[in-house]
Amino acid sequence: MNRTIKISVFKLLLFLGLLSGPAPLMAQQKTTIDGVAAVVGNRIILKTEIESHLDNLVRQGQMDNTQEDKCKVFEDLLFEKLLVHQAEIDSVVVSDEEVDANIERRIQMIVQQIGSVQKLEEFYKKTIIEIKEEMSEVIKDQMTAEKMQRKITEKIEVTPTEIVEYFHSIPPDSLPVVNAEVEISQIVIYPIIRKEAKLEAIEKLKRIKERIQRGTSFSSMAVLYSEDPGSARNGGEYKGIKRGQFVKEFEAVAFVLRKGEISDPFETEYGFHIVQLLARRGEELDLRHILIKPKIDDEDLESANRKLDSIRTLIVEGVITFEDAAERFSMDEDTRFNRGLLINPYTLEPTWEIGNLERDIFTVVQNLKPGEISGPVFFRKPDGKEGFRIIRLNKKTEAHKINLQDDYNRIKQLALMDKQNKAIRSWIDKKLQSTYVRINHNYYNCNFTSNWIKKLASNE
């Protein structure tokens, strides 16, 4: 119901390995149809697993399907299997609960973009339960490998001297270019929903519930009336719901229903709902719901606009700081408790490449100078919620070659990554001395970065 990150459906499907057929989801099955490309410890790599991973990257434009690319994917998988094998030896464990939660997040990202669970099932020609089951082993291996890799690098740090030395080791003509970046803050005001509008939404849901109880299909009513874009076209249905996926008010109602029971109307931040429980499997639910949003009229919007303009005037006249005003008045929970500062969800830093900003924010920011505050700007969230915000451009840096004065923290991260990569390569070389590795040369002839082939010679 709530979408905060914009990712194309196509790339999300690639991310889950759903566009390349069942091979990546079932890569661990020891099938006689496919050939074994390599064995690392007690883990195998199938030829189709390599080709499916490569195909995904080619579709995303990250690789060109060259022999070099194929070998890079092959070595990445060799490394993953080595990590998973060593994790078993070192008792590095990822719980089933962690895997399930990871899968749920991935599935929900697609469902919110593609429109419904039904469309996902139709695309993959499997039920959502089957898709999750097939993903489980692959995702668990990925998460285990990541956890093992963190264990290898978690204690690695870089000193100021190492940071400077790393920077000076980069040839001047190879210094990366940092794109133009901005740091911005916002104050958001949403219109206050009138009591009459709330009562109207509740009464509408009561009438819908009565029609369902008299025999009308819940699914049909959801298609006709629900204002949840993530489920309306699917008859309001959500499958495999676990605690923590939806807002607490929704779960407080859904998890106490009996099978077939329909709730009374209740409120969340998205509007008013009724929910019907379809099935329960322990703490996992299948359900349908209908969302009705209280209507906001032009007067409500104009009132929010005037309130925000008054707040801006207080800031400009020095009566209150932008930070204090954000903390006191802003209705956006993500930035209010950060005193208005917008954090980039991809980097967890306050800086944004200008090209990565939402279009409406970009339009405002490009006309501001550092320190300036925009007038109230209307916006609409992906879930349809409308409001106004003022934006302050805190600072802006133009595109430039990376340098120690302006980009010390960025260089620090690059130096840390370089040191971690060296530690990982050293770890691989060490573990290959005691781990069984066999490469099938009938498929690929690769020059690997690490000594996988040398290990083969000693095994044979």
Q: Does 185 map to a domain? A: yes
Q: What is the pLDDT of residue 16?
A: 45
pLDDT above 50 (res 13): no
| Rounded (10°) CA dihedral 95, 101, 107, 109 | -140
Q: Which residue has the tokens 């008054």?
A: 310
What is the pTM (predicted TM-score) of this model?
Answer: 0.61
Closest CA to 116 of 236, 268, 290: 236
> Residue 323: which CATH number?
3.10.50.40
Summary mean pLDDT of the chain = 85
- Predicted confidence band of residue 312 (pLDDT cuts 50, 70, 90): very high
Considering the domain architecture, whether residues 282 and 351 belong to the same structural domain is answered as no
User: Residues 111, 234: one domain?
Assistant: no
Are the C-beta atoms of residues 287 and 238 closer than 8 Å to each other?
A: yes
pLDDT of 144 higher than 90: yes
Spatial distance between the Cα atoms of 432 and 455, rounded to a whole number of angstroms: 7
- Rounded mean pLDDT, 368-386: 89
Pairing of strands 351-353, 181-189: antiparallel
Domain that holds residue 201: 195-292
106-134: pLDDT as tens digits? 887 777 666 677 777 887 788 888 888 88
Could you please report the per-residue DSSP string of 202-239? HHHHHHHHHHHHTT--HHHHHHHH---TTTGGGTTEEE
User: Which of 353, 370, 401 finishes a domain?
Assistant: 401
Q: In the predicted model, is pLDDT for residue 172 greater than 60?
A: yes
The pLDDT assigned to 289 comes to: 93
Query: CA-CA distance, 154 to 147, in Å (whole number)?
Result: 10
- 348 burial via Cβ count (<10 Å: 0-12, 13-18, 19+): exposed
Q: How far apart are the first and last CA of the chain?
A: 56
Q: Which of 293, 295, 301, 340 is nearest to 1 (CA)?
A: 293
User: Tokens 């196509």, residue?
Assistant: 10
pLDDT at 34: 52
Confidence of residue 21 (pLDDT cuts 50, 70, 90): very low
Look at residue 454 in the predicted model and tell me its pLDDT.
58
Same domain? 335 vs 186: yes
Highest mean pLDDT among 21-25, 346-350, 404-408: 404-408
> Over 90: is that where the pLDDT of 7 sits?
no
Quick one: 282 and 154 in the same domain?
no
Shared-domain flag, residues 188 and 333: yes
Task: Taking each helix axis as running N to C, give the angle between helix 408-431 and helix 128-153, from 0 to 180 degrees, rounded to the nearest 10.
Answer: 100
Residues 38, 127, single domain; the answer is yes
pLDDT greater at residue 175 or residue 383: 175
Query: Per residue in 242-266, pLDDT tens?
Result: 887 788 899 999 999 999 999 999 9
| Number of domains into which the chain is organized | 3
- Is 4 a domain residue? no
Q: Is the dihedral of CA 81, 86, 89, 94 positive or negative?
A: negative
Q: Would you state the pLDDT for residue 26?
A: 35
CA 268, CA 287: separation in Å to the nearest integer?
17
